[in-house]
Structure 1
Amino acid sequence: MNTLRPQSTSAANGTPTRVLQRQSRQIGQFLLESRILEAVEQRRASYPILRHLRIAARVEQQALFDDLALSLGWQAHRIHGELMLLESDGLFVSVYGTRKGEYCSASFHLWAESIERAESAVAAIEARIGDARIAEPMFSVDWHFVSSCGDLESASIEEIADSPLIDTAYPALEEGVAPFIARYLAAPETVLVLQGPPGTGKTRLIRAVLSEISRRAGGEAEVLYTGDKKALENEEIFVKFITGTHDAFVVEDADHLLTPRAEGNQHLHRFLAIADGVVRAQSRKIIFSTNLPNLGDLDDALIRPGRCFARVHVRELSLAEAERVVSAIVQNDAERQAVLNKAIQALEQRSVSLATIFKLLREAEQGAMCAA
């Protein structure tokens, strides 16, 4: 039988010791970050030139920080695992790094006494990273969520732009994926709604749009993203999009947000306000994905002509369509194509999702590796 351990308490007020310890750590972290922020403000205020550099590299994030700290000849301050400050004559640099899978990313803010000093510092960083730097276009995802304390938090994640999608995976886009995305990015309308069951490729299509935005922007696209319902109850995220430089605002799993206001939807009006204002004037985009089954489930004001570019119903594929997708994926590999088609037929389903196709593909590849 499970027993509950008694929780130690502070004699002063009966507050659990564990809570006091956590609060002490939070206060200590707050004071440390306040001192860091004050130092950063003082140092960067001394220099008139600012440059920003984002780099993704196929190297461990800590190894990247170690190398920059030891090899550039600048004074390094390792604040914590993701933040480092660098100083040299006429130069101050803050570096924020994150890691994702097989690569890491780093965002550099450089303050310098002159343009020449800033440019030489950028060149030194790029030369030090060298061939490890990822050359493919990237886009920065500014991911927002509500913490357990109820505060709106954010984290920045660098993503590699995806390769073009397979047209046969999206039969609803009769013109093809790339022409559709090109028309959307050139159109004055702001909103795009992707509607369909889970696993049918909505997120892949969103990433394809963001990847094309990145390519057109020279690999410097920025995206405001959330899938958190509570984050959209906060005005801060909307203010950040309106006043910021994000190229797109992506809301995934937006079922609660897109239903008619007559049914009690109290959040959609914020998007209606920004979709027609400065966001549209700057050709920025708002993309929703939803699992709502019927087109009639969406608020009419959101999808009216002039505001909404398109509603794309992304569905599961028929077996014939799935075989065409498999053929496009494996190209001229008849053996792999036969294995995948057999696996699809073995499902004994009338339709199959795109996610299932890629799952079967991974399983087939793993099976081939084990056999080898």
Structure 2
Amino acid sequence: MNIHKLNPERGGAENPLAVGLSFQHQIHGFADTILKARTIRALDNIAARYPVYRHLRCASRRKLEELFDDIALNSGLSACRLSIGSVLLEGPGIFINGGGWRTAAFSSCGFGIWADSIARAQEHSDKLLRVIGEAYDRKCMFTLDWHFMDGRSGLNSTSFNELVVDEIYDEAYPALGCPVSDFIQSYLDSDETVLLLLGTPGSGKTRLVCAILGAMSERKEDSAEVLYTCDKKALENDEIFVNFITGEHDAFVIEDADHLLLARSNGNHDLHRFLAIADGVARAQGRKIIFTTNLPNINDVDEALLRPGRCYASVATRLLNRDEAAALMRRLVEDHARVDALVTGLFATGVRGVSVADVYRASGKTGRRRAS
């Protein structure tokens, strides 16, 4: 497959980003391949032409194909459409690489913007937002930078927006001993880096993590940047940790971290990297590290991670008893006359506790998203 030029109508000195390539292998990430090839070809003058870079993220209620049709047709720039959710835009003094993904509830979009001036970068950022139109407030979302191991290229990542859950209820977290909002604000105010959430699946750990990340965005008045992984192999080398220390992430979230938290005396060789960035020489500098685990006992966790000054708290989320489940159900179901029947249905003979997820499922709610 040969690609001679992205824009066949322009060439020579007027189009230093034109590129000729011969692909002999299966193509992965077509838009990314073209972008990198164009950049390499223009390496001798790209700094002079495009010294300003900005990155724009947004989430929209609009359908992805409709959204990118609009961007390609109404941005005022030459457009090359590479897929439903991918577009390259070019004009005098400006080059934009746009990508988008559709979730169940919204379209998540990201745009890399190269420009010859700050004013032009801002002009086209504003124009993109006008074309996109209806979008969620960035304070109501966070950006997940998901890292994982790729069989072809080693550590890889992809980024997308997530919206903050509609509301989190104190009744779901009796183990906190205080309102959820007070706990979150106290953690964000603290000097300690680490928060450890232990509990069985469905006990509300992920919902609480999302609420913390949403509170970060509200404080920042912009989308919090979150480095995320649940890949054991991604944590077995230093690269992901260097990305966290040197990047612009506000938090590092590690889900299902059972293997990572066990005592080093039992052969855990990976925890030392987290101990170093929590309060060692290469410090997280005020950023937060949040672990979730299904380990049943705090005594299974290496005590060095729990050291005062390093760990803000270890919270054991748990099953709810009948009274606690009824209290949460009353927050979820407007018709309180139905609560007793719903709770009775959860607590069949012999059942002593149910999960937060069980209560949400029985109420008919799964956690709506909060819009601006």
What TM-score comes out, normalization by structure 1 length? 0.85
Match in the other structure for 1:285: 288
1:168-189 deviations in whole A, cap 9, x for unaligned? Answer: 1101111111000001001000
1:313-335 deviations in whole A, cap 9, x for unaligned? Answer: 111111111001101122x4224
1:100-129 deviations in whole A, cap 9, x for unaligned? Answer: 112111112222233332222122111112
Match in the other structure for 1:329: 332
User: Structure 1 counterpart of 2:180, which letter?
Assistant: V
When residues 78 and 308 of structure 1 are mapped into structure 2, their CA distance, relative to the original with a 3 A threshold, is same
CA displacement at 1:138 relative to structure 2: 1.3
2 CA distance for matches of 1:58 and 1:221? Answer: 20
Question: Which range moves more in the overlay, 115-124 or 171-180?
Answer: 115-124
When residues 363 and 328 of structure 1 are mapped into structure 2, their CA distance, relative to the original with a 3 A threshold, is closer
Aligned counterpart in structure 2 of residue 351 of structure 1, from 347, 350, 353:
353
Match in the other structure for 2:95: 92
Task: Check the 8 A contact 2:75/2:127 in 1, yes or no.
Answer: yes
What TM-score comes out, normalization by structure 2 length? 0.85
Question: Which range moves more in the overlay, 55-64 or 206-215?
Answer: 55-64
Which structure shows the bigger proportion of residues in helix conformation? Answer: 1
Task: Check the 8 A contact 1:195/1:202 in 2, yes or no.
Answer: yes
Matched, 1:64 2:83: no
Match in the other structure for 1:172: 175
Task: Check the 8 A contact 1:226/1:251 in 2, yes or no.
Answer: yes
When residues 281 and 251 of structure 1 are mapped into structure 2, their CA distance, relative to the original with a 3 A threshold, is closer
Match in the other structure for 2:259: 256
Task: Check the 8 A contact 1:56/1:134 in 2, yes or no.
Answer: yes
Percent identical residues: 47
Task: Check the 8 A contact 1:59/1:102 in 2, yes or no.
Answer: no
User: Structure 1 counterpart of 2:345, which letter?
Assistant: A
Q: SS of the residue aligned with 2:110?
A: strand
1 CA distance for matches of 2:132 and 2:34? Answer: 30
When residues 200 and 285 of structure 1 are mapped into structure 2, their CA distance, relative to the original with a 3 A threshold, is same
2 CA distance for matches of 1:334 and 1:244? Answer: 48
When residues 272 and 285 of structure 1 are mapped into structure 2, their CA distance, relative to the original with a 3 A threshold, is same
Match in the other structure for 1:126: 129
Q: SS of the residue aligned with 1:213?
A: helix
Match in the other structure for 2:26: 25
2 CA distance for matches of 1:146 and 1:27? Answer: 15
List gaps (5 residues or longer) in structure 2. 1-22, 367-372
Aligned residues: 341
| Structure 1 segments of 4+ aligned residues over 4 angstroms from their partners | 26-34, 39-45, 277-281
CA displacement at 1:348 relative to structure 2: 4.5
CA displacement at 1:82 relative to structure 2: 4.0
Task: Check the 8 A contact 1:86/1:94 in 2, yes or no.
Answer: yes
List gaps (5 residues or longer) in structure 1. 1-21, 365-372
Question: Which range moves more in the overlay, 74-83 or 173-182?
Answer: 74-83
Match in the other structure for 2:13: none
CA displacement at 1:93 relative to structure 2: 1.5
When residues 28 and 110 of structure 1 are mapped into structure 2, their CA distance, relative to the original with a 3 A threshold, is closer
Match in the other structure for 2:219: 216
